[in-house]
Amino acid sequence: MKIGIISDIHANAVALERVLQVIGPVDALWCLGDVVGYGPNPNESIERLLALPNLEVCLTGNHDWAVLGKLDLNDFNPDARQAALWTREQLTPASMKFLDERPGKVVRDAEFTLAHASPRQLIWEYITSVPLARANFQHFDTLVCLVGHTHVPAIYALDDKGVVRDQMAADKGTLNLRDGHRYIINPGSVGQPRDSDPRAAYAIFDSDSGDFTFYRTEYDIAETQRRMTTAQMPVRLIMRLNYGW
């Protein structure tokens, strides 16, 4: 069984469509939250996910909550706040219902816990260091916890001696999850990468082999930027897509 894993689409329907094209035939698709926010196509992104017969999981994220009024927009930077307010005005009732029904955490058997930000703080904690990862291993019982939120592909491994290591998550890099370690893994962002690589990020897990593979793909950034410009979205949000930050 092959599972496609995506996160942080952020209403970038062009990037989402490209990822769905190149991800190939997968038995299930898991989305780790933040379907909307920042980008120009919130309804289209939601509708595309809803049309997928293999969408098995789609979590909520902090930008999804912000649009729903579940988070204080004063906690967001001005550009993110403006984008959230714009998104709120665009969303159809069906899209709002979809976002409102998303779970904060999902557990799949004994192997995977899925959370947008972290298993300790589901909506808003950035796991960006070994100490933060070490603290979070205490908050899930499965072999692996999949997270998004940082927009940066990452691997944190906990070995049988209790040592946590930060491993590189490279394009087309493969990690075998049956090596006896526990992991916190971030597949990176589809719609707004922040690791100085503007290509959309995603991952595939093969349950037969235990292999977890990271991927990147180019998409038409200029088209997304054109749509953002038409919507009069903040210039910084438009320009950052060129540089992956």
DSSP label of 100: H
Separation CA 54–CA 86 (nearest Å): 30
Which among 94, 88, 90, 30 has a CA at the least distance from the CA of 64?
88
| Listed range (73-82, 117-126, 163-172, 228-237) with the worst mean pLDDT | 163-172
Burial of 55 (0-12, 13-18, 19+ CB in 10 A): middle
How many domains does the chain fold into? Answer: 1
| 21 contact partners, CB below 8 Å, separation of at least 6 | none
Query: Quick one: pLDDT band at residue 162, thresholds 50, 70, 90?
Result: confident
Q: Reading across the β-sheet that carries 105-108, which strands appear in turn?
A: 105-108, 112-115, 144-146, 182-186, 154-158, 164-167
Average pLDDT over residues 214-227: 98
- In the chain, the N- to C-terminal Cα span, in Å, equals 33
pLDDT at 170 over 90: no
pLDDT digits (tens, 9 = 90+) for 120-146: 999 999 999 999 999 999 999 999 999
User: Which percentage of the chain shows pLDDT scores above 90?
Assistant: 93
How do residues 32-84 score in pLDDT, each as one tens digit?
999 999 999 999 999 999 999 999 999 999 999 999 999 999 999 999 999 99
Quick: pLDDT tens for 105-116: 999 988 999 999
Task: Encode burial over 202-233: b for 16+ CB neighbours within 10 A, e otherwise.
Answer: bbbbbeeeeebbbbbbebebeebbebbeebeb
Average the pLDDT over each of 1-15, 59-73, 130-144, 157-171 and give the range with the smallest value.
Answer: 157-171
Decide the pairing of beta strands 211-217 and 200-206: antiparallel
**Do residues 200 and 184 make contact, with C-beta atoms less than 8 angstroms apart?**
no
Domain extent for 72: 2-243
Short-list 131, 173, 179, CA closest to 156? 131
Mean pLDDT of the chain, nearest integer: 96
Contacts of 74 (CB under 8 A, 6+ apart): 81
The CA-based angle 200-39-29, given to 5 degrees, is 50
pTM metric for this prediction: 0.96
**Could you tell me which residue, 110 or 191, shows the higher pLDDT?**
191
Average pLDDT over residues 11-24: 97
pLDDT over 90 at 147, yes or no: yes
CATH of the domain at 8: 3.60.21.10
